[in-house]
Structure 1
Amino acid sequence: MSSASAPTRSVGGVELPAAGTWKLDPGHAEVGFVGRHFMLTKIRGRFTSVEATVEIGERPEDSKVTAVIDVTSLATGDQARDEHIKSADFFDAEKFPQATFKSTSVTWDGVEGKLIGDLTIKEVTHSVTLDVEYLGYARDPWDNDRIVFSAKGKINREDWGLTWNMVLESGGILVSKEIELVLDLEALRQV
């Protein structure tokens, strides 16, 4: 295999993905979030339908990410909760079936970086910072080149108009305002 077609390259002595276009493999992606119920219990949710493209730049900091999240694909493991979160109290998925993310800047050091981008939910856009880690490369049994990343960040859901809540008799609120974003992603090299 020539170096021009190699799926990875050395940047500053670290193996990173080759420059080019990589598409998210939705069957091997976890685009999730964690919130708190009663300010105690962690409740996890995920979106099962996400499309994303990663454009790896010649310089890692020139890389770009775009994603479209199908809000109607939300799953938390409880159908009644899913329907409530999709309702007008939160995502209003019938009126706003998609959320989007578009990166605006990348900083990179070794296998870790910060990805800053615009997250749009219900036509409201705010900047989000994700801490990203490149976990490595693998070639699957069907000769597809795959790269694997994880990312985490925190947002205040109320910034996007997701404000429904209830005050508890004992004090505090039913649903946390702070939401942790948790992503584990595989992307396929496009030829």
Structure 2
Amino acid sequence: MTNTESAGTAAGRVLGGVELPVAGTWKVDPGHAEVGFVGRHFMLTKVRGRFTGVEGVVTVAERPEDSSVEVTIDMASVTSGDQTRDDHLRSDDFFDVTEHPTATFRSTSVSWIGAGGVLEGELTIKGLARPVTLKVEHLGLVRDPWGNDRAVFSAKGRINREDWGLSWNMVLEAGGILVSKEIDLELEVELIHEKD
């Protein structure tokens, strides 16, 4: 070990003075994973939604920048607190879940300093793959009551939904559009360490 690296606790290690997950396979805990999104209605009101069906694997490398992420999202699991809106989101105006039941994200590069970094990746929705940049923060490591080591992360990004052909909208009489093109992504994820 170098002077910037020492043994951590549980499934953690200290790199550059910050405790990070040990190298290995970490699986997304679907019960504690939220892929959220925020758009604006009438260009004013924030409307929040999320996908509850999320699965994935993070392969943590010895060097954090060599790590990789692969995630699958069940698009029918979208929920925004309004059944009519959720049904519309599932329709072919938006996600077309009958023809495209899942979306995927896979990382293409990781840059990491301290407890945070930037994750570049490719998000595929309705068969269209487009680049996405997420700012990631590692919030800590915990051991749950069942002996599982968990790593907790949050991430944020912004996309233009029309890049994926999600272009349904209505022009307002007073000007502007009904639904914003720019969508903020907000992710909260717990990962469970897969022990050998």
Q: Is TM more than 0.5 here? A: yes
Residue 127 in 1 paired to residue 131 in 2? yes
Task: Supply the distance in 2 between the matched residues of 1:185 and 1:20 (Cα, whole angstroms).
Answer: 17
Residue 154 in 1 paired to residue 158 in 2? yes
Residue 165 in 1 paired to residue 132 in 2? no
Task: Supply the distance in 1 between the matched residues of 2:125 and 2:188 (Cα, whole angstroms).
Answer: 21
The one-character-per-residue Cα deviations of 1:79-121 (angstroms, maximum 9, x if unpaired) are 0000001101011111100000000000000001000000000
| Mapped contact 2:10–2:143 kept (Cα < 8 A) | no
Q: Displacement of 1:4 after TM fit? A: 9.6
Task: Supply the distance in 2 between the matched residues of 1:13 and 1:79 (Cα, whole angstroms).
Answer: 47
Residue aligning to 1:85: 89
RMSD over equivalenced CA pairs, Å: 1.2
Instruction: Report 1:1-191 matches (<5 A).
Output: 6-191=10-195
For structure 2, the residue ranges without an aligned partner over 5 or more in a row are: 1-6
SS in 2 for 1:89: coil
Q: Displacement of 1:123 after TM fit? A: 0.5
SS in 1 for 2:33: strand
Letter in 2 for 1:179: I
Residue-pair matches, total = 189
Letter in 2 for 1:87: S
Task: Supply the distance in 1 between the matched residues of 2:158 and 2:17 (Cα, whole angstroms).
Answer: 31
Moved over 2 A (4+): 3-6
SS in 2 for 1:81: helix
For structure 1, the residue ranges without an aligned partner over 5 or more in a row are: none
Change (3 A) 1:157 1:29: same
